[in-house]
């Protein structure tokens, strides 16, 4: 059983949301932002405030999904974690939202989060979406916000 990212740009568009919209929905409590980057990526590049950190590749492995060679290389670069399917669903269920709650996946660039959104949808979370541009877009938005003089 494998989970693939959408194959066409049209499929991607159905699974993506813009970063500003995602941040606003999260701020309003209408969505949950899930940072799916590996732990070492978060430690090296920084955390996203108010995001729940659930590393995608560890989740895929514990659910019995196969990883691509590139995914396995990224997983191997971090410290091993003792996560199992029960702990994954416990983390999701601690959000105290129904399966129709908006789950917004964010990775480094927006590519892996498409795969994460598709995986969550296959697990029964129909409103899982990817945040377009990922952490890189978030950093650019933070830099632009910091550079804008307040009036």
Residue-wise pLDDT for 121-137, tens only, equals 988 889 999 999 999 99
Instruction: Kindly indicate the confidence band of residue 4, based on its pLDDT and cuts at 50, 70 and 90.
Output: very low
Nearest to 30, CA basis, from 93, 129, 101: 101
Residue 66: per-residue pLDDT: 76
- pLDDT tens figures, 52-99: 888 877 777 777 777 777 766 666 655 545 555 566 666 666 665 778
For position 124, what pLDDT does the model report? 87
Of the candidate CATH numbers 3.40.250.10, 3.30.1330.60, 3.10.20.30, 3.30.450.40, the domain formed by 17-147 belongs to 3.40.250.10
Q: What is the pLDDT of residue 100?
A: 83
9-45 pLDDT per residue, tens: 445 557 899 999 999 999 999 999 999 998 888 999 9
Dist. CA 71–CA 83, nearest whole Å: 17
Q: Which residue has 């990817």 as its token pair?
A: 130
- Runs of H (alpha helix) within 46-129: 56-62, 69-77, 85-93, 111-122
pLDDT at 111: 86
Which among 39, 122, 52 is positioned nearest to 82, based on CA atoms? 39
Average pLDDT over residues 107-119: 89
Indicate the domain borders of the chain. Answer: 17-147
In our burial notation (b when 16+ CB lie closer than 10 A, e otherwise), range 9-24 reads eeebeebbbebeebbe
């Amino acid at each position: 059983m494998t989970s693939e990212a959408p194959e066409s740009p049209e499929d991607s568009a159905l699974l993506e949301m813009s970063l500003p919209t995602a941040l606003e929905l999260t701020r309003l409590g209408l969505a949950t932002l899930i940072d799916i980057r590996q732990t070492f990526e978060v430690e090296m590049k920084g955390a996203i405030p108010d995001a729940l950190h659930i590393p995608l590749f560890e989740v895929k492995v514990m659910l019995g999904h196969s990883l691509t060679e590139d995914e396995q290389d990224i997983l191997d670069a971090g410290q091993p974690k003792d996560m199992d399917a029960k702990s994954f669903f416990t983390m999701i269920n601690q959000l105290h939202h129904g399966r129709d709650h908006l789950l917004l996946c964010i990775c480094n660039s927006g590519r892996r989060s498409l795969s994460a959104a598709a995986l969550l949808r296959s697990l029964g979370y129909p409103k899982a979406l990817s945040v377009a541009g990922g952490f890189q877009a978030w950093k650019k938005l933070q830099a632009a916000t910091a550079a804008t003089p307040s009036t």
